[in-house]
Amino acid sequence: DTGVSQNPRHKITKRGQNVTFRCDPISEHNRLYWYRQTLGQGPEFLTYFQNEAQLEKSRLLSDRFSAERPKGSFSTLEIQRTEQGDSAMYLCASSLGPSMNTEAFFGQGTRLTVV
Amino acid sequence: KQEVTQIPAALSVPEGENLVLNCSFTDSAIYNLQWFRQDPGKGLTSLLLIQSSQREQTSGRLNASLDKSSGRSTLYIAASQPGDSATYLCAVRQAGTALIFGKGTTLSVSS
């Protein structure tokens, strides 16, 4: 299966630690998105890449969060000095540009628990 | 600011029933609307994508309609099965690149 792949699937960390998640998009997709989802809510946009360029960041993306997509393929999302409020499902999605009308495909997510 | 609302928040039906899930959005200037399914603790599975110029899309027992001018979409599920139990999310894409999601409708189909 060549869908969107996210690792790890689950991460438990102590408050104050740094964590990094990885997303491998569908191979030909040039657009990659990160979302965050808390219990009972829909996903909320964090940031967007077109190829290796980070083109858009949400207000939700505080300075403790950083995302990269160094070669326009996989992406990483790092959270520094984690807080309990960071506990959520982190979802990655990809789509094929340049059209805005293409379908977005999501990965299985990384569930982060900060204790 | 675009807001997406899904009603009802939860729905329970017996197996075999036809059902409709509703999605409304406040700003009709959208590129497209996408329906997703999410199983507990899992990611999102794309079900249907409707472009702003389209009125409906069908896939198997699923039919999604879009009335852009009134800011509404419905997802019709025919002959529901226990395996359809999940949370259904709708999302719209506007001039920006991000999808804007509703909170979802959690469907439970009993056998």
Is residue A9's pLDDT more than 90?
Answer: yes
In whole numbers, what is the pLDDT of chain A averaged over residues? 93
Is residue B24's pLDDT more than 60?
Answer: yes
What pLDDT is stored for residue B73 in this prediction?
A: 98
What pLDDT is stored for residue A41 in this prediction?
A: 95
What pLDDT is stored for residue A1 in this prediction?
A: 53
For A64, how many CA atoms within 13 A lie in the half-sphere containing its CB? 13
Q: State whether residue B40 sits within 8 Å of chain A by CB.
A: no
Within 47-66 of B, beta carbons closer than 8 Å to A belong to 49, 51
What pLDDT is stored for residue B34 in this prediction?
A: 96
What pLDDT is stored for residue B96 in this prediction?
A: 67
Chain B residues with CB-CB distance to A101 below 8 A: 31-32, 51
Taking a C-beta distance cutoff of 8 angstroms, is the pair B85, B105 a contact?
no
Q: State whether residue A106 sits within 8 Å of chain B by CB.
A: yes
Nearest to A91 among B31, B43, B98 (CB): B43
CA distance A33 to chain B (A): 8
pLDDT digits (tens, 9 = 90+) for B40-87: 999 999 999 999 999 999 999 999 999 999 999 999 999 999 999 999
User: Which residue has 């191979």 as its token pair?
Assistant: A27
- Find the mean pLDDT for residues A15-23: 98
b/e per residue B33-42 (b: at least 16 CB within 10 A): bbbbbbeeeb
Class of residue B31 by CB neighbours under 10 A (exposed 0-12, middle 13-18, buried 19+): middle
A63: Cβ–Cβ under 8 A, 6 or more apart, which residues?
A: none
Check A107 against B97: CB less than 8 A apart.
no
Instruction: Place A97 in a pLDDT band, splitting at 50, 70 and 90.
Output: confident
Taking a C-beta distance cutoff of 8 angstroms, is the pair A33, A56 a contact?
no
Residue at A31: amino acid letter: R
Is residue A100's pLDDT more than 90?
Answer: no
pLDDT digits (tens, 9 = 90+) for A49-83: 999 999 999 988 899 999 999 988 999 999 999 99
Instruction: Place A37 in a pLDDT band, splitting at 50, 70 and 90.
Output: very high
Report the chain A residue with the minimal C-alpha distance to residue B40: A39
Is residue A99's pLDDT more than 80?
Answer: no
Taking a C-beta distance cutoff of 8 angstroms, is the pair B109, B16 a contact?
no
- What is the residue-wise DSSP string for B6-56? EE-SEEEEETT--EEEEEEES----SEEEEEEE-TTS-EEEEEEEETT-SE
- Find the mean pLDDT for residues B20-28: 96
